[in-house]
Amino acid sequence: MDLLKGKVVLITGASRGIGRAMAQKFVQEGASLAFTYLSSVEKGQALEEELRAFGGQVKGYRSDASDYKAAEELIGQVVADFGRIDVLVNNAGITKDGLLMRMTEEQWDTVITVNLKSVFNLTKAVIKPMMKAKSGSIINLTSVVGIRGNAGQANYAASKAGIIGFTKSVALELGSRNIRSNAIAPGFIETEMTGEINEKAVEEWKQQIPLKRGGQPEEVADCAVFLASDLSRYITGQVLQVDGGMLT
Ligand code: NAP
């Protein structure tokens, strides 16, 4: 369909799950693709090889999104390799769940740093090249948990709610520069992140979802293609829920 033909896209955390599905869809839609991974080195390298078979420019980088300096260096390297960045997808994220009563300072700090500070790091570094190009689309992965809260995930919910405030502020600051900033809020998507949850709880959740099933990473990726493409050129500052109606 070539919805992203000619666009350079950078995705953080594409070695697995939703990031990986987005990387595949973006390349199928004609994008040139830069992506990162951190601990899943083999999976990252295998993805690079797989996507190069489509014939376009693809490069994987091992980079920690939560590290300010590393993010700055990454953006510089991607611009050097690809010439520019049209779309940034802040996808890298983790969970370290526990009831607040038992949550450690380390669980709090790690989740806030990896999920929220990473979005600041990458966005701060990418706005210069986007301002120079006079266009850009920034897509941040939040969660329905960031809208509604979730018992046992105070750290994760706070990081994802923070992303929503950040997304809207960036939309207000940079709209006049033709840089759009939107968030995607997935509900329950079947990946390694949700694979840790016990089966009984998962079944109960599914019954509460109007579409009566969990979502697939590809279904989130379709929404990301839309926000990355010119089809969404008049949309900014929004949070699009991809949740089967879970939160209505
Ligand atoms: P996942 O399967 O656990 O994959 C997480 C990805 O993030 C991996 O590729 C991982 O790379 C990368 N990552 C983690 N820490 C990183 C860091 N410091 N620097 C760079 N990359 C890092 O998770 P997922 O389910 O696909 O979730 C993707 C995003 O969607 C997350 O932001 C998550 O919060 C959000 N989300 C997911 C769901 C869901 O139901 N699955 C729902 C709502 C929101 P390595 O393995 O190479 O370290």
Whether the Cβ atoms of residue 75 and residue 85 lie closer than 8 Å to each other: yes
- Stretches where the chain sits below pLDDT 50 are none
Is 41 a member of any domain? yes
CA–CA separation, 89 vs 196, rounded Å? 25
Q: List pLDDT tens digits, range 123-160.
A: 999 999 999 999 999 999 999 999 999 999 999 999 99
CA–CA separation, 82 vs 61, rounded Å? 13
Q: Is 186 in the pocket of ligand 1 (CB under 6 A)?
A: yes
Q: Is 150 in the pocket of ligand 1 (CB under 6 A)?
A: no
Q: The tokens of 135 are what?
A: 């266009």
Is 153 a member of any domain? yes
Q: Is 91 in the pocket of ligand 1 (CB under 6 A)?
A: yes
Which residue's CA is the nearest one to ligand 1's atom 39?
A: 189
Is 1 a member of any domain? no
Q: How far is the CA of 156 from the centre of ligand 1 (A)?
A: 12
pTM of the complete model? 0.98
Mean pLDDT over the full length of the chain: 97
Give the closest residue to 11 by CA, choosing from 2, 145, 27, 3: 27
Closest ligand 1 atom number to CA of residue 37:
47
Instruction: Give the per-residue pLDDT at 197.
Output: 85
Which residue's CA is the nearest one to ligand 1's atom 21?
A: 13
Q: What is the CATH number of the domain that holds 193?
A: 3.40.50.720
Is 217 a member of any domain? yes
First vs last C-alpha separation in the chain? 31
* C-alpha distances in Å from residue 189, one per residue of 13, 40, 83, 235: 16, 20, 34, 24
Q: How far is the CA of 232 from the centre of ligand 1 (A)?
A: 24
Closest ligand 1 atom number to CA of residue 67:
18
- How many domains does the structure of the chain reveal? 1
Instruction: Give the per-residue pLDDT at 195.
Output: 87
Instruction: Give the per-residue pLDDT at 201.
Output: 87
Q: Which domain holds residue 51?
A: 8-242
Is 248 a member of any domain? no
CA–CA separation, 142 vs 189, rounded Å? 13
* C-alpha distances in Å from residue 161, one per residue of 29, 94, 158, 185: 30, 15, 5, 10
Instruction: Give the per-residue pLDDT at 4.
Output: 98
Whether the Cβ atoms of residue 99 and residue 143 lie closer than 8 Å to each other: no
Is 46 a member of any domain? yes
Q: How far is the CA of 13 from the centre of ligand 1 (A)?
A: 6
Q: Is 37 in the pocket of ligand 1 (CB under 6 A)?
A: yes
Probe ligand 1: pick from 68, 94, 111, 139, max atoms within 8 Å of CB? 94
Whether the Cβ atoms of residue 156 and residue 103 lie closer than 8 Å to each other: no
Is 12 a member of any domain? yes
Q: Strands across the sheet with 58-62, in order?
A: 58-62, 32-37, 8-11, 87-90, 136-141, 179-186, 239-242
Instruction: Give the per-residue pLDDT at 198.
Output: 87
In the chain, the amino acid numbered 100 is L
Which residue's CA is the nearest one to ligand 1's atom 29?
A: 91
Other CB atoms within 10 Å distance of the CB of residue 203: 9
Instruction: Give the per-residue pLDDT at 36.
Output: 99
Q: How far is the CA of 65 from the centre of ligand 1 (A)?
A: 11
CA–CA separation, 108 vs 106, rounded Å? 5
Q: Is 244 in the pocket of ligand 1 (CB under 6 A)?
A: no
Q: List pLDDT tens digits, range 197-222.
A: 888 988 998 999 999 999 999 999 99
Looking at the annotation, which residues are catalytic? Answer: 156
CA–CA separation, 219 vs 172, rounded Å? 28
Whether the Cβ atoms of residue 197 and residue 206 lie closer than 8 Å to each other: no
Instruction: Give the per-residue pLDDT at 66.
Output: 99
Is 161 a member of any domain? yes
Whether the Cβ atoms of residue 85 and residue 179 lie closer than 8 Å to each other: no
